[in-house]
């Protein structure tokens, strides 16, 4: 089960904004299916994952990690964390910018 489905104590009031982020197609399919499995929105799932990552924690328990492995197979997602800095969009030439030094 996903860690963030229960509310302990008083809820934190937040202001949410709409954002347009681009992500790998198969990754989004897995995330949407996982959100549906946990009966939550994609945005809520992503918020939980990011907040756990910021704390250096895994957002998922054993059951969810098993479900993620199944969904990755189903959607043909063969990427993992070691690929995160090597992704390039199909049909686009990858360019590198030199960091500005002050």
Q: What is the mean pLDDT of the chain?
A: 88
Question: What is the structure's pLDDT at 7?
Answer: 62
Question: How much helix, strand and coil, in percent to the nearest 5, is found in the chain?
Answer: 45, 0, 55
Confidence of residue 95 (pLDDT cuts 50, 70, 90): low
User: Would the pLDDT of 18 be above 60?
Assistant: yes
Confidence of residue 46 (pLDDT cuts 50, 70, 90): very high
Question: What is the structure's pLDDT at 35?
Answer: 97
- What ranges make up the beta strands (E) of the chain? none
Question: What is the structure's pLDDT at 90?
Answer: 87
- Can you tell me the mean pLDDT for 53-69? 96
Confidence of residue 1 (pLDDT cuts 50, 70, 90): very low
Report domain extents, the chain: 25-77
User: Would the pLDDT of 3 be above 80?
Assistant: no
Return phi, psi of residue 86, to 5°. Answer: -120, 10
Q: Model-level pTM?
A: 0.78
């Amino acid at each position: 089960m996903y860690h963030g489905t229960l509310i302990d104590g008083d809820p934190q009031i937040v202001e949410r904004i709409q954002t347009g982020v681009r992500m790998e197609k198969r990754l989004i399919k897995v995330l949407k299916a996982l959100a549906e499995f946990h009966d939550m929105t994609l945005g809520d799932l992503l918020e939980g994952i990011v907040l756990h990552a910021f704390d250096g924690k895994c957002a998922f328990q054993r059951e969810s990690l098993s479900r993620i492995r199944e969904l990755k197979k189903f959607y043909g997602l063969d990427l993992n964390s070691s690929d995160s800095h090597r992704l390039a969009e199909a049909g686009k030439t990858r360019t590198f910018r030199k960091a500005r030094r002050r």
